[in-house]
C-alpha cells in the first residue's frame, strides 16, 4: 500500500498536538486533591531530571566533556546564575574539554 | 507573574534564545536523519513546524522510511510524546483558571521539554504571553535547523555540534536545580531521578522500552512516591 507523506506528517502533528492540549483545555480549575496537587508539583522536576541524565552523556563526542558540563551547569544553577549563562557555559565547557582531549592529550 | 503581556512576551523571547541555539543544533541532526529517510527539505521543515518535537519526529521519519501503517504512526507518536500529557497537566495548574480556551490552544504548541522547562519555572501563575515569546524565538530555530540539516548535511564541524548539543540539557538543569536548592524533597526526587534513570537506560533488561516510555514510567513512579510520602502543604503548593 502506497502511503502519502503529507498524511504521515498530518497524523504525527495531530496526535502530538492532541496530547499537548487535552489536559490544558480540559482541566480548567485548580485541582483540590492534595495528592494530585503534590504529584503535579513534583512532575516537572522529575521529568527534566530523568531526561537530563544519563542522556547528556550521549549528547557529545566525549562523555567526559558532557559530565564536566553537567557539573558546571549544576554549580552555576545552584548559585543562581541565569538560564542563558548556565546553558552557554555548559556548551563552552564541552567545547574546551573536547578541544583539550583531541589536541593536547 | 508580574508585568504586562508585552514585557512578559519579551522576557520569554529572551529566555528562549538558548533554546533557539540548542534547537538549531539538534534539528540539524534531525534534518540529516530526515534526508536519510528520503524526506525533502520542505517536508522536513513542515514536519518540524507542525510537530515541534525531537523524539516524535525522529521516530516518525524512521517509520516513514519503513513504510509503516498510519495506525502505527499514531501509536508511536502517542508513546514517544506521552510525557507531554503530564507536562500539560502540570501547566494547567500553573495557569489562571480563567485563561480562555484559545490561549490554552496556542500554549499547547509550546509544550516541549525545553519551553515547558521555561514556563514552569516562572514565579506564581504563568502569563501565556511569556510562553508565546519563547515559542516565537525557539520554533524558528527548530524549523530552520531541520531545513538546513536536509540541505547542508554534515557541514558544521563536529566539535561545534557536540558543544551545542548540551545546551538544552543546561536549560533543564537551570530549571530543576534552583527548585532543589529551595526544597529538600525536590532535591531528593532529582537525586532519585538521576539514579533510576541511569539504571533504566543502562540495564539491557529495559531495552524494550522507548526512551519516551522510560521518561513517563519514571516520572509517574518517582513523582507519585514523592507525593505519597511528602504531600505538600496547601499554602506552599503555589510556589512552583
pLDDT at residue B19 tops 80: yes
**Residue B177 in domain:** no
Whether B174 maps to a domain, the answer reads: no
Has residue B48 got a pLDDT over 90? yes
Q: Mind listing the pLDDT tens digit for each residue in A10-47?
A: 999 999 999 999 999 998 887 888 998 898 889 888 98
A48 has a chain B CB within 8 A of its CB: yes
Claim to verify: residue B210 and residue B118 sit in the same structural domain: no
My answer on whether B33 and B117 are in the same domain is yes
Say if B34 falls within a structural domain. yes
**Closest approach of chain A CAs to the CA of B174, in angstroms?**
5
Nearest CA in chain A to B57: A12
Residues B111 and B22 occupy one common structural domain? yes
CA nearest A51 in B: which residue?
B215
Q: Is the pLDDT of residue A77 over 70?
A: yes
A77 vs B30 pLDDT, higher one: A77
**Do B134 and B213 have their domain in common?**
no
pLDDT for the residue B63: 83
When CB atoms are compared, the residue of A44, A53, A69 closest to B197 is A53
Query: Same structural domain for residues B44 and B157?
Result: yes
- Quick check: A40 contacting B, CB < 8 Å? yes
Number of domains in chain B: 2
Whether residues B41 and B73 fall in one domain? yes
Whether residues B196 and B221 fall in one domain: yes
Query: What is the residue range of B240's domain?
Result: 183-240
CB A57 within 8 Å of CB B226: no
| The three three-digit cell numbers of residue B58, written as one number | 525522529
Cα separation, B212 vs A54, in Å, equals 14
A-chain residues within 8 Å CB-CB of B18? 83-84, 87-88
- Average pLDDT (B155-165) is 79
User: Could you report the predicted ipTM of this complex, rounded to two decimals?
Assistant: 0.86
The span from the first CA to the last CA of chain A, in angstroms, equals 55
- Whether residues B193 and A46 touch (CB distance < 8 A) is answered with yes
Residues of A in contact with B109 (CB under 8 A): 17, 20
Interface probe for A, chosen from B44, B83, B173 (most Cβ of A below 10 Å), is: B173
B37/B116 same-domain check: yes
A window 54-93, beta carbon within 8 A of B: 54-56, 59-62, 65-66, 69-70, 73-74, 76-78, 80-84, 86-93
Residue among B92, B173, B181 whose CB faces A23 most closely: B92
Q: What is the CA radius of gyration of chain A?
A: 20
- Which of B40-49, B116-125, B127-136 is predicted least confidently? B116-125
Q: Are B29 and B37 in contact (CB under 8 A)?
A: no
Measured in angstroms, the CA of B134 and the nearest CA of chain A are apart by: 13
Q: Both B69 and B13 in a single domain? A: yes
Which of B105, B138, B167 corresponds to the end of one domain? Answer: B167
Lowest mean pLDDT among B89-98, B153-162, B218-227: B153-162
- B30 shares its domain with B118: yes
The predicted pLDDT at position B239 comes to 44
Among B167, B194, B215, residue at a domain's last position: B167
pLDDT band at B154 (very low <50, low <70, confident <90, very high): low
B114, B142, B167 - which closes a domain: B167
At A70 the pLDDT is 98
User: Do B40 and B97 belong together in one domain?
Assistant: yes
Structure confidence by residue, pLDDT tens digits, B197-220: 999 999 999 998 877 778 888 989
Q: What is the mean pLDDT of residues B82-86?
A: 86
The pLDDT assigned to A31 comes to 81
* Burial (CB count within 10 angstroms: exposed 0-12, middle 13-18, buried 19+), residue B194: middle
B53 and B133 share one domain: yes
CB contact under 8 A, B174 and A87: yes
pLDDT for B34 equals 87
How far from A98 is each of A43, A64, A65, A102, B26, CA to CA, in Å? 34, 9, 6, 6, 18
Amino acid at each position: 500500500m502506497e502511503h502519502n507523506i503529507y498524511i504521515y506528517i498530518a497524523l504525527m502533528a495531530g496526535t502530538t498536538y492532541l496530547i499537548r492540549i487535552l489536559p490544558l483545555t480540559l482541566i480548567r480549575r485548580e485541582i483540590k486533591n492534595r495528592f494530585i496537587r503534590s504529584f503535579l508539583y513534583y512532575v516537572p522536576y522529575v521529568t527534566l531530571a530523568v531526561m537530563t541524565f544519563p542522556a547528556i552523556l550521549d549528547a557529545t563526542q566525549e562523555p567526559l566533556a558532557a559530565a564536566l558540563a553537567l557539573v558546571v551547569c549544576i554549580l552555576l544553577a545552584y548559585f543562581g546564575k541565569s538560564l542563558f549563562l548556565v546553558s552557554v557555559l555548559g556548551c563552552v565547557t564541552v567545547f574546551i574539554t573536547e578541544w583539550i582531549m583531541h589536541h593536547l592529550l | 507573574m508580574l508585568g504586562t503581556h508585552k514585557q512578559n512576551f519579551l522576557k520569554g523571547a529572551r529566555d528562549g534564545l538558548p533554546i533557539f541555539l540548542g534547537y538549531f543544533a539538534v534539528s540539524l541532526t534531525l534534518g540529516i536523519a530526515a534526508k536519510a529517510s528520503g524526506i525533502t527539505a520542505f517536508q522536513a521543515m513542515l514536519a518540524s513546524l507542525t510537530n515541534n518535537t525531537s523524539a516524535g519526529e525522529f521516530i516518525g521519519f524512521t517509520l516513514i522510511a519503513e513504510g509503516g501503517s498510519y495506525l502505527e504512526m499514531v501509536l508511536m507518536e502517542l508513546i514517544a510524546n506521552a510525557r507531554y500529557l503530564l507536562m500539560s497537566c502540570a501547566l494547567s495548574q500553573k495557569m489562571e483558571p480563567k485563561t480562555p480556551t484559545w490561549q490554552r490552544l496556542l500554549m499547547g504548541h509550546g509544550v516541549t521539554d525545553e519551553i515547558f522547562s521555561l514556563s514552569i519555572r516562572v514565579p506564581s501563575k504563568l502569563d501565556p504571553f511569556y510562553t508565546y515569546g519563547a515559542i516565537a524565538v525557539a520554533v524558528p530555530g527548530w524549523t530552520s535547523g531541520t531545513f538546513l540539516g536536509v540541505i547542508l548535511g554534515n557541514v558544521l564541524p563536529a566539535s561545534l555540534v557536540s558543544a551545542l548539543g548540551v545546551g538544552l540539557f543546561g536549560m533543564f538543569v537551570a530549571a530543576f536545580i534552583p527548585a532543589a536548592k529551595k526544597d529538600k524533597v525536590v532535591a531528593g526526587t532529582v537525586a532519585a531521578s538521576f539514579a533510576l534513570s541511569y539504571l533504566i537506560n543502562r540495564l539491557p533488561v529495559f531495552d524494550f522500552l522507548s526512551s519516551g516510555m522510560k521518561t513517563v514510567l519514571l516520572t509517574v513512579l518517582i513523582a507519585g512516591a514523592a507525593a505519597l510520602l511528602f504531600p505538600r502543604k496547601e499554602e506552599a503548593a503555589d510556589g512552583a
